[in-house]
Amino acid sequence: MVVPLLLVVLQLAGATSAAALPVVINTWAFRKAAETAWRVLQLGGSELDAVERGCGQCEIDQCDGSVGYGGSPDESGETTLDAMIMDGNTMEVGAVADLRHVKNAIGVARKVIEYTKHTLLVGESASLFAVRMGFPYEDLITQKSLLVYSKWLNQSCQPNYWKNVVPDSSKSCGPYKRPEKVICKEEQTISQRNVQNHDTIGMVVIGGSGTVASGTSTNGAVHKIPGRVGDSPIAGAGSYADSTAGGAAATGDGDIMMRFLPSYQAVEYMRMGTDPTVACQKVISRIQKYAPNFFGAVICANTTGSYGAACNKIPGFTQFHFMVSSPLLSQPTEQVVDCI
């Protein structure tokens, strides 16, 4: 039996979604992630369980090559992972960044909450922690990621994330260094991140009693400078959860978006009674004032189960697709909003 795919278009600015609990909302049309998280809730799992398993499904599936192993090689050809998970009851956060040789980043992030007094672990030390917690140490590089890396080298390392260096990073590969006399160029280009290179699963789960959890997982920006960490593992940037208000998650150009703590800001708007769709739109509008060409979107849900999303309209990205699961829907449903 073929199950028809449902697609709901939310086009009216500020259109309010029907509210019901529990609700699961996640970035992009990552259907299996939504189904997995919803199933966990239906079987009696906690909101944190649902976030961990839902985002973990994308790590297994290598969603669009932008989550999990074998995607987004950095300048040295290595794949590294970032993830976070947040408990909206206790405000505890577990996060890992620049994680190497361990596939289940969101699982390691949860262990940071459960077995340490810390919030964020990074790099090879995070990998060693993961191994202590029982996660296998394995290669994250695949033939596909090697091909992506090789092609990038063959096209003079374009595009990349360097600026104001010698040799000219727009024409050749490095190693780069600081010039003796710095000439800063103003760059007002469209973000290198685009709809074919979206970079995160972000998820918000609100249980039947209004308990909120959120999380993210990503392999970051393709061809990033080694050591780069974006918004995904940063509480308030990649996602944010507060069981007294709601939850939010962001996706897109993390280098820009993390400067504005969009997930935290969206939750604070909802705390003041702002509708989730409007809260998302206000966050996007705030970033637009400083970076009109940024690529990004935000999802929001409040403790009544009402939800919304918003995105920044740029060439090639005029609509944003996301997944919603709730008692009002017969199955996890793909929804879409027009960008602003």
Residue 3 CA neighbour count, 13 Å, CB half: 8
113 near 87, Cβ under 8 Å? yes
Q: 132 among the known binding-site residues?
A: no
Amino acid at 313: K
| 116 classed as catalytic | no
Q: Find out whether 336 is annotated in a ligand binding site.
A: no
Whether residue 94 is annotated as binding a ligand: the answer is: no
Is 64 annotated for ligand binding? no
CA distance 124 to 104: 15
Give 91-147 as a DSSP string.
--EEEEEEE-S-S-HHHHHHHHHHH-S-SEEEHHHHHHHHHHTT--------HHHHH
Residue located via tokens 């961990």 = 52
The answer to whether the annotation marks 231 as part of a ligand binding site is yes
Report whether 304 belongs to an annotated binding site: no
Active-site pick, 27, 79, 80, 200: 200
Provide the pairing of β-strand 239-242 with 212-218.
unpaired
Q: Is 182 annotated as a binding residue?
A: no
Whose CA is closest to 70, among 103, 97, 27?
103
Helices within the chain (DSSP H only): 31-42, 47-61, 105-115, 123-132, 143-154, 254-257, 262-271, 276-288
316 is in an annotated binding site: no
The token duo for 70 is 């074998």
Is residue 68 within 8 Å of residue 81, measured between CB atoms? yes
Side-chain-side CA neighbours of 255 within 13 Å: the count stands at 13
List the binding residues: 228-231, 251-254
Just list the catalytic residues.
200
List the binding residues for substrate: 228-231, 251-254
